[in-house]
Chain A
Amino acid sequence: MLSIALIGYAGFAALCLAMEKHFSELLKRKPSPGKLRVLRIGGWLLLMLSLVLAVHGRGWAHGLVEWIAVLMAGVTLWVFGLPYQPRLVLGLAAVSLVLGPLLAVLAG
């Protein structure tokens, strides 16, 4: 489940950064529309990936419920952490992007 939570978290982070307002605020530079689109597609793909992994690992009943739960938890952490510790929260997203899939592969 941890890998699913991390991938989902990274997905939401990407979707947030795909919004120009947040991108320029957090990364301190103006994004190109191409970059925003990549982030948006990437974000959705990550969310879909986490869903697939959840259902594959835990079945439809438990998998769906747990997926929604960890996603809600992750995005809440992101939104409320952002104004206070933007670098920590962003760093966590970067780590999740790598660690999430890694853990998923290791878990088999």
Chain B
Amino acid sequence: MKRSAAGLPLSYRLAVVSRSLAALLGGYLLASLVSVCLALLLPLPQVDATLTGLMLSFVFYLLAFIWCFACRSAWRAWLGVLLPSLVLGLLGGFAYWMKNP
């Protein structure tokens, strides 16, 4: 990374912080929602579906993290984690409501 003698511009630092938050918090949200959907929707016995959701969640956390730093801007980072989270949240919410009317 190029560093100027005077230090990095504030906008750059803010972008890094923003991406980091998107990755840490947004990624966690996304991973959790993936695990919820898997647990509720997989055609497996309850405990197995939950286990699968748990084990696979970290893969999605990883992918979210990578996305947040690979995409072109901090805005895209947030979009990339929040939009799928919204979809998964709706899906999971629906599945939960179906199971617990």
Direct contact of A and B (CB under 8 A): no
A residues within 8 Å of B by Cβ?
none
B residues within 8 Å of A by Cβ?
none
